[in-house]
Amino acid sequence: MNKVKGLEPIVAAVLLIVVAVIGAVLVYLWFAGYVTKATSQAEQMAASEKLKVEAASLSSSAASGVLYIRNLGGDNVTLSTIYVLKPGTLSPLCLASGITVYKPGSTTATATTLYPGQLQQVQFSIPTGCVTAGYDYVIKIVTLKGTEFAVTVTAS
């Protein structure tokens, strides 16, 4: 008598394939949810700091710069560092010092804090010889939370 194996091996193979596919789908869904959650948390953290540079000037003769910045976010923003770079490069030409924030028209400094909804004047000093009049430079602003903002300005 011959034993004929017909349907059982095929059913077993199909079941193994179905189990493998279901397992892969579950792993994918778990990983996609994890990545989405981590990304949304990072976006929420960065979204709280929204600055708009409304005007900027950079003076080679006075070795200083002035920015008019409006805080569009809902939280106070503390400025940490200001760099001056050549456009298209990542390495800074110089690091600003003496960063001071004022309300326009006021002589009272607010340290380095920008308050929500307000236009504030940011003054800073740069080393002499860092910039040359007539050339374009990028002023890169970094906050205490690490958020970066940049504006291009022609030195005078």
The residues spanned by each domain of the chain are: 1-47, 51-154
What integer pLDDT is reported at residue 116 of this predicted model?
82
What integer pLDDT is reported at residue 18 of this predicted model?
94
Kindly report the number of other CB atoms within 10 A of residue 67's CB atom: 25
Q: Worst-scoring range by mean pLDDT, 23-32, 53-62, 102-111, 121-130?
A: 102-111
Residue 72 scores a pLDDT above 90: no
| Cα of 27 vs its chain's centroid, Å | 31
CATH topology of domain 51-154: Immunoglobulin-like (2.60.40)
What integer pLDDT is reported at residue 146 of this predicted model?
81
Q: Cα-atom radius of gyration of the chain, to the nearest Å? A: 28
| Cα of 83 vs its chain's centroid, Å | 15
- Structural contact between residues 70 and 52, judged by C-beta atoms closer than 8 angstroms: yes
What predicted TM-score, i.e. pTM, was given to this entire model? 0.62
151 φ, ψ (degrees, to nearest 5):
-145, 145
Maximum CA extent, the chain: 106
Residue 17 scores a pLDDT above 90: yes
In this structure, what token pair is assigned to residue 152?
């291009």
Residue 97 scores a pLDDT above 80: no
